[in-house]
Amino acid sequence: MNAAHSKVRRHYDEVADIYDSRYDRNRGRLYYSRLSENVLELLPKGKHLLDLGCGTGLFIQHYGKYGGAATGLDLSPGMIHKARSRCRMGQFAVGNAEILPFRDESFDALSSLLAFSYLKEPESMIKEAYRVLKPGGVIAVVTLGKNLLTSGLPALYAMGEAMNIRHVGMGDFGERYYSESEMNDLFFKAGFTDILIRRCSFAHINLIDPLYGIARKIEPFVEERFPYLAYNLLASARKPG
């Protein structure tokens, strides 16, 4: 495990006990549920899902409502411990998404929410995703997109780390923010087809009140008319077969 992975792992081990207070309560629940709904629309239901960067199992819990089976992978043992408590029927493992410990053609669907930006070798993850998906399998990824609103986040997070603020995702991890063309190229070069890239989520969880409330009200309008202003990229594709 390289130094960057070790830093991400240590951080999420440290915040495992407060992670759900960010994404499973109040505005965090609204934010995460909206992302989950966008991903769920693109995945086959009731199949075998692999969720990369699964955290405490929030998305697997959403997916499980439709039946099927799910496996979660995360760098953080602390996160995996929480996920096992949340999703008793799921299978979980500690591991690196860039080198997946699974056999070829093991899964019908693959998801990753808010973890892709941490990858140092995204090409490896996409190639590995292609390998472990069955022919016809679908991948859907949500990650922070590159735009004016997200350009200042790395500096903000680095400042938070310097101030020793204990906050989920608050740290200088060298995260990468992607454009639509960059995400498209990653999937295309790996062999995926039916590639779909779109922006989603204008009402970002980090917005202060009353801006967050205003953003939620105008979010559908912004996503339709001014998608570039949305914070996240939603990318999906299919393995031929």
| pLDDT tens per residue, range 108-120 | 999 999 999 989 9
Give domain status of residue 163, yes or no: no
Q: Is 232 exposed, middle or buried (0-12, 13-18, 19+ CB in 10 A)?
A: buried
* Average per-residue pLDDT for the chain: 88
Residue at token pair 């629940």: 29
Give domain status of residue 157, yes or no: no
Please, are residues 111 and 59 in contact by the beta-carbon 8 Å criterion? Answer: yes
Give domain status of residue 194, yes or no: yes
What distance in Å separates the CA atoms of residue 8 and residue 85, rounded to the nearest whole number?
22
- Checking if the pLDDT of 169 tops 70, the result is no
Tally of structural domains, the chain: 1
What distance in Å separates the CA atoms of residue 229 and residue 223, rounded to the nearest whole number?
8
Rg (CA), the chain: 17
Q: For residue 43, what is the domain's CATH number? A: 3.40.50.150
What distance in Å separates the CA atoms of residue 218 and residue 226, rounded to the nearest whole number?
11
Going by C-alpha positions, the residue among 173, 135, 157, 147 that lies closest to residue 228 is 147
Average pLDDT of the segment spanning 193-219: 86
Give domain status of residue 152, yes or no: no
Sheet holding 232-238, edge to edge: 91-94, 69-74, 48-52, 107-113, 133-144, 232-238, 193-200
Give domain status of residue 159, yes or no: no
Confidence of residue 24 (pLDDT cuts 50, 70, 90): confident
Give domain status of residue 156, yes or no: no
Q: How far apart are the first and last CA of the chain?
A: 34
What distance in Å separates the CA atoms of residue 167 and residue 187, rounded to the nearest whole number?
32
Confidence of residue 137 (pLDDT cuts 50, 70, 90): very high
Question: For position 19, what pLDDT does the model report?
Answer: 84
pTM: 0.88
The string of pLDDT tens digits covering residues 35-80 is 999 999 999 999 999 999 999 999 999 999 999 999 999 999 999 9
Question: For position 163, what pLDDT does the model report?
Answer: 56
Helices and strands in the chain: count of H runs, count of E runs: 9, 7
Average pLDDT of the segment spanning 158-176: 59
> Residue 211 has which token pair?
């801006």
Residue 99 sits in which domain range?
A: 3-146+174-238
> Residue 165 has which token pair?
């603020």
Please, are residues 70 and 63 in contact by the beta-carbon 8 Å criterion? Answer: yes
